[in-house]
Copies of this chain bind each other. A is one copy, B any other.
Amino acid sequence: MSCTRSGSESESASGSERGRERLVVIGADAAGMSAASQARRLKGPDELEIVAFERGHFTSYSACGIPYWVGGDVAERDQLIARMPEEHRARDIDLRMRTEVTEIDAAGGRVRARDVDSGAESWTSYDKLVIATGARPVQPELPGIDAPGVHGVQTLDDGQALLDTLARTRGRRAVVVGAGYIGVEMAEALINRGYRVTVVNRGKEPMSTLDPDMGRLVHEAMEGLGITMVDDAEVTKVLTGDDGRVRAVATQDAEYPADVVVLGIGVRPETALARAAGLPLGAHGGLLTDLAMRVRGQENIWAGGDCVEVLDLVSGQERHVPLGTHANKHGQIIGTNVGGGYATFPGVVGTAVSKVCDLEIARTGLREKDARRVGLRFVAVTVESTSRAGYYPGASPMTVKMLAERRTGRLLGVQIVGREGAAKRVDIAAVALTAGMTVEQMTALDLGYAPPFSPVWDPVLVAARKAAAKVRAF
């Protein structure tokens, strides 16, 4: 969910012509500024000049935190900003805000940038380039989609605009379009602000990153929270009132009154610049890199964060996984390599956690359809357990689904829906996936046990036992 873009103006002389290298960074959010900061740690300003272009107003902020700011859990926008422009500048990073890169000339080793306010353009040469242009929200082409009261939540500016709308529609009706991570988190935010919330979702169940049977649990729990869940519904238009503002969302079947509409349909890699420059893109539209996060086929261009595809270690194929935690790792790795060190990003296993009020949702690895798509045969089991010893106060139910490969018994994926203590349990499976463990091996895992923290068989162990038995039975 990190999201960054850029642009600016500058002299064209290469840094190396002046006795030091110049690193240019496009996009000043998690991946870009982590890369810049790490490169600076390894090489001082005498050795390396760093120029970073950012087309927006902010640097290094947590887009993942926006729902909690909108919902009121986080009081101030600036709490979401890890590092302000002046902090970066104090570390000898030439940060050019509100400056959008409009062209990458990879053969010439330069970028063209435009001052967003003045429109002035110029070229800046680089010895090394980092592309960290982030992602852009999917914006459906629908009548009325641009009406006042319809909001995306990708940037801090988006968040502020939404808060302004909430301030004037306080306590009325909201429709959230999309029921993925952003959708369900925004549903929570709007509940917290006192709205009656309807979530309209294209999938058969919410959270399509889960299998439908687990998504069903999310559906039921969200209804239990008073949220109206409309699944299997395509939004056909946004209806406006006489004042031009949104008044409802229409699907093929019905209309849902709305004083505010939040779009949470997902994001795509922001790679128009890279595409125009002839850089290699994958099936999901993201840049393709090698293990050192260098753009494939390029000597001196790196890319990371939401604009790249990453290797899924379980399926062996590339995916687009826009998450701040990956963007930060990428930046760290790129900065190390650009700064003369050595680091690699082996890939992801697809871990993600979220919550809606007290409902916790987690997944890692492959869903059933992912496994089928890559030719894996598997067993799937689902178990019910509790977060703590059954007799301990606050023990809450937890459903764990586990997939394992037939024959080998290799763990393929885990999905968890529950309450307190459910989501981070997925980390057990994330490590096991990384290590290539079988579910039989997992049955012997020495997990933390005490009555306030787990039943004597941790829910993940219960699932592993059942999965291992099913693997053996085949």
- Please indicate the chain B residues that have their CB under 8 angstroms from the CB of A443 in the complex: 329
The interface-forming segment of A112-120, A126-134, A387-395 is: A387-395
User: In the assembly, what is the distance between CA of A453 and CA of B301, in Å?
Assistant: 34
Q: In the bound complex, do residue B446 and residue A62 qualify as a contact, i.e. CB atoms below 8 Å apart?
A: no
> If the complex has contacts A349-B446, A430-B445, A448-B352, are A424 and B454 also in contact, measured as CB distance less than 8 A?
yes
Contact B448–A391 (Cβ < 8 Å): no
> For the complex, is A303 an interface residue (Cβ under 8 Å from B)?
no
Which B residues lie within 8 Å of A64 (CB)? 389, 449-451, 456
**Cβ of A447 and Cβ of B351 under 8 Å apart?**
yes
| Of B74, B323, B392, the contact of A392 (CB 8 Å cutoff) | B74
Asked if A355 CB lies within 8 Å of chain B CBs, one says yes
Q: Is the CB of A450 within 8 A of B392?
A: no
Q: Are A392 and B73 in contact (CB under 8 A)?
A: yes
A80, A328, A435: most-surrounded residue (chain B CB, <10 A): A435
Given contacts A65-B392, A345-B444, A430-B445, contact A424 B423 (CB under 8 A): no
Partner of A424, one of B74, B80, B325, B425: B425
Tallying the copies of this chain within the complex gives 2
A350-361 Cβ-contact flags toward B at 8 Å (1 or 0): 111111000000
CB distance from A353 to the nearest CB of B (A): 4
**Partner pick for A62 among B430, B437, B451, CB 8 A cutoff:** B451
Interface size class, chain A:
35 or more
Q: Mark A303-332, 1 if CB is under 8 A from B, else 0.
A: 000000000000000000001111011000
Assembly CA distance A84 to B62 (angstroms): 53
Q: Is A364 an interface residue (CB 8 A)?
A: yes
Within 8 Å by CB of A351, from B323, B431, B446, lies B446
Interface residues of A in 173-225 (CB under 8 A from B): 181, 185
* A73, B393: Cα distance in complex, Å: 6
Does chain B have a CB within 8 A of A12?
A: no
Q: Note all chain B residues with C-beta closer than 8 A to A432.
A: 431, 435
Does A428 belong to the interface (CB within 8 Å)?
yes
A408-437 near B? 1/0 per residue, CB < 8 Å:
000000000000010111111011101101
**Contacts A351-B448, A424-B454, A427-B448: A62 and B389 contacting too (C-beta < 8 A)?**
yes
Tell me whether A446 and B425 are in contact in the complex, defined as CB-CB below 8 angstroms, given that A62-B391, A68-B392, A389-B62 are known contacts: no
Please tell me if the beta carbons of A456 and B391 are within 8 angstroms of each other in the complex. no
Report, nearest first, the 3 A-B pairs whose CB atoms are least far apart: A435-B435, A353-B448, A325-B449
Q: List 6 A-B contacts (CB under 8 A).
A: A345-B444, A355-B452, A424-B453, A424-B454, A431-B445, A434-B437
Known: A326-B446, A351-B447, A428-B431. 10 other contacts (CB 8 A): A62-B451, A65-B392, A74-B392, A181-B450, A185-B450, A328-B456, A355-B453, A430-B445, A432-B435, A434-B444
